[in-house]
């Protein structure tokens, strides 16, 4: 059973008036429980004593909210009990929750904006109200992962997106009980009532045990969001203030009807499983390596030779630009690396048409083509297996430079979905997109997830199955919904019914 222990955190023991009132209610409703109000000072002291190896990570967080987030998982992992934000108002004793090994709240679906839907995970588990027995598997998983997420944006480093990804990575039997919004957060951040419990129950079916308001409402989260600047907090006045903006964008849609008709599709199905099952078969994979005008680098040669995949299930083909000065030297570099040659020459192999020619040169028996850019210098040995385990028709690895930054601009997902507003801001009204990074998110920015949808797949390390290629999926030689090359391939694939995924935790290194 969950111990009768309540945890709260604040900067000091002096609470703001509204929070102090809620805290007194918690005390009155739980007279025989142990209640701890942790401060910035006592939180750090606890981490130093209970998790000395984690203290350096704790101190390295650039924001106090990240330390407060991390502390919740650390204290529940060590002591168990129930954690609640101080803007959570209790209505009844928490005794009914003690019978579970763990529980966690589900955010109202009204809070799930197009960015979450386009991300493929159209819900969030909260870290504002949760509890467990000590040493629960969720906290163990999170605590082990947190050091590798330092430097990510708060939501993905320590916040709700992080805990959501971790929940989905657990076996179903180990997941906490899920509390629907009416149980713990009947009010939205704008003060209105949630009406999304029915939809949430359907969406979460199969993910775990779900508890709805039929068992009674326990608390109400008031969404004071003290860590957010006051002018960015949700309230009912925002809807009124946004009326002029809404009219402005309506008028722009009328003036640019062709652009307004462009739809960047959302994922075909939600990305609910973040722990892929092992392969039960090894399909035939053709590896197409684009060398361009340069020899095969020793680093890429070693990486290809080191792929942990049955050799009888692999074929390799190297491609050079037909205009390269010395095709013989390029062929010699392939032979020195231990690969049988010859090198296939294609004019303009670095262009979209050249890439499509590489894909078309695949052996008829190949079930997948792995396209590899010649500038790749490091590849995990299990890369191909992990891409196949994603079980999507098109899969791309995260391509990074030597310091972990995204190294392929065409490898991305639209941050807030590919809406008219996003395409307009990116220059779509002029007929050509700028590719502004403000509107795009890259795989290296959301490393807590094992698999996420993509819009653009790039051209660095991409796996495409035979069915998608046969249906006409390829690199955009002419603009496709304003996109070209690897930016167009993913959008085209999803339009044709083939899902397109990226693996944030699978990193290949691209040399500059």
Q: Which residues partner with 5 through β-bridges?
A: 34
**How far is Cα 413 from Cα 500, in angstroms, rounded to an integer?**
10
For position 226, what pLDDT does the model report? 54
Taking alpha carbons only, the member of 488, 406, 499, 497 closest to residue 453 is 499
- DSSP output for 245-297: HHHHHHHHHHHTHHHHT---PPPSS-----SPPPPS----EEEEEEEETSPPP
Average of pLDDT values for 212-238? 68
Task: Give the CA distances from residue 167 to residues 39, 178, 502, in Å, rounded to whole numbers and listed in that order.
Answer: 27, 11, 19
Q: Would you state the pLDDT for residue 190?
A: 83
Question: Residues 470, 301, 372, CA angle at the centre, nearest 5°?
Answer: 25
Would you say residue 162 has pLDDT above 90? yes
Does residue 227 carry a pLDDT above 60? no
- Asked if residue 395 lies in contact with residue 506, where contact means CB atoms within 8 angstroms, the answer is no
Domains and CATH numbers, the chain: 5-234 (3.90.550), 285-510 (3.90.550.10)
Nearest to 125 by CA among 68, 190, 63, 73: 73
Q: Is the pLDDT of residue 232 over 70?
A: no
Whether 164 has a pLDDT exceeding 50, the answer reads yes
The contacts of residue 357 (CB under 8 Å, 6+ apart) are 346, 349
Say what percent of the chain tops pLDDT 90. 88
pTM: 0.93
Per-residue pLDDT at 229: 47
- Lowest mean pLDDT segment, chosen from 19-28, 64-73, 243-252: 243-252
What pLDDT does 228 receive?
A: 43
Cα distances (Å, whole numbers) of residue 482 to 457, 469, 477, 488 = 15, 21, 11, 8
Q: Give the CA diameter of the chain.
A: 83
- pLDDT at residue number 235: 54
Do 189 and 225 form a contact (C-beta atoms < 8 A)?
A: yes
**Span 389-404, pLDDT tens digits:** 999 999 999 999 999 9
Going by C-alpha positions, the residue among 78, 100, 71 that lies closest to residue 210 is: 100
Residue 231, pLDDT > 60, answer no
Q: Give me the mean pLDDT over the 399-422 stretch.
A: 94
Say which range, 168-177, 236-245, 346-355, has the weakest mean pLDDT: 236-245
Mean pLDDT rounded to a whole number for the chain: 94
Q: Is the pLDDT at 255 greater than 50, yes or no?
A: yes
- What is the reported pLDDT for 123? 95
For 430-444, write each residue's pLDDT tens digit.
988 999 999 999 999
pLDDT score, position 233: 43
β-strand partners of 456: 412
What's residue 322's pLDDT?
A: 86
In this prediction, residue 323 has a pLDDT band, given cuts at 50, 70 and 90, of confident
Higher pLDDT, 259 or 326: 259
Nearest to 505 by CA among 404, 410, 434, 416: 404
CA gap 326, 90 in Å, rounded: 75
């Amino acid at each position: 059973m969950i111990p009768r222990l309540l945890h709260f955190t604040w900067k000091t023991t002096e609470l703001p008036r509204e929070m102090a009132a809620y805290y007194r209610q918690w005390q009155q409703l739980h007279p025989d429980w142990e209640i701890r109000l942790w401060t910035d000072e006592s939180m750090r002291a606890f981490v130093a004593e209970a998790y000395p190896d984690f203290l350096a990570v704790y101190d390295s967080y650039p924001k106090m909210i990240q330390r407060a987030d991390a502390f919740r998982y650390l204290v529940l992992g060590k002591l168990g009990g129930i954690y609640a934000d101080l803007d959570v108002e209790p209505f009844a004793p928490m005794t009914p929750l003690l019978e579970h090994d763990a529980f966690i709240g589900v955010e109202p679906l009204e809070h799930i904006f197009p960015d979450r839907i386009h991300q493929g995970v159209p819900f969030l588990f909260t870290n504002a109200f949760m509890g467990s027995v000590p040493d629960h598997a969720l906290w163990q998983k999170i605590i082990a992962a947190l050091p590798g997420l330092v430097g990510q944006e708060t939501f993905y480093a320590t916040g709700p997106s992080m805990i959501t990804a971790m929940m989905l990575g657990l076996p179903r039997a180990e997941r906490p009980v899920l509390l629907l919004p009416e149980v713990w957060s009947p009010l939205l951040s704008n003060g209105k009532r949630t009406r999304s419990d029915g939809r949430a129950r359907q969406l979460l079916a199969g993910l775990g045990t779900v508890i709805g308001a039929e068992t009674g409402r326990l608390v109400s989260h008031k969404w004071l969001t003290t860590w957010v600047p006051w002018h960015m907090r949700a309230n009912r006045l925002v809807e009124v203030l946004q009326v002029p903006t809404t009219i402005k964008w309506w008028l722009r849609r009328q003036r640019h009807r062709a652009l307004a008709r462009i739809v960047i599709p959302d994922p075909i199905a939600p990305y609910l499983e973040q722990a892929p099952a092992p392969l039960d078969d090894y399909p035939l994979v053709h590896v197409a390596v684009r060398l361009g005008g340069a020899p095969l680098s020793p680093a890429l040669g070693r990486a290809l030779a080191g792929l942990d995949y049955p050799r009888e299930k692999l074929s390799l083909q190297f491609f050079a630009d037909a205009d390269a000065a010395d095709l013989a030297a390029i062929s010699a570099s392939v032979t020195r690396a231990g690969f049988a040659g010859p090198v296939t020459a294609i004019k303009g192999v670095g262009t979209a048409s050249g890439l499509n020619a590489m894909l078309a040169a695949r052996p008829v028996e190949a079930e997948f083509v792995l396209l590899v850019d010649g500038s790749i210098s490091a590849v995990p040995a299990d890369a191909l297996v992990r891409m196949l385990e994603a079980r999507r028709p098109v899969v791309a690895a995260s391509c990074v430079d030597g310091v972990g930054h995204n190294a392929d601009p065409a490898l991305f997902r639209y941050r807030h979905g590919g809406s008219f507003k996003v395409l307009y801001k990116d220059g779509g009204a002029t007929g050509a997109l700028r590719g502004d990074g403000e509107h795009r998110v890259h795989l290296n920015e959301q490393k807590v997830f094992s698999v996420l949808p993509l819009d653009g797949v790039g051209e660095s390390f991409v796996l495409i199955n035979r069915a998608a290629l046969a249906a006409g999926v390829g690199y955009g030689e002419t603009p496709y919904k304003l996109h070209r090359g690897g930016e167009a391939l993913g959008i085209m694939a999803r339009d044709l019914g083939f899902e397109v995924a990226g693996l944030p935790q699978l990193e290949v290194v691209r040399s500059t």
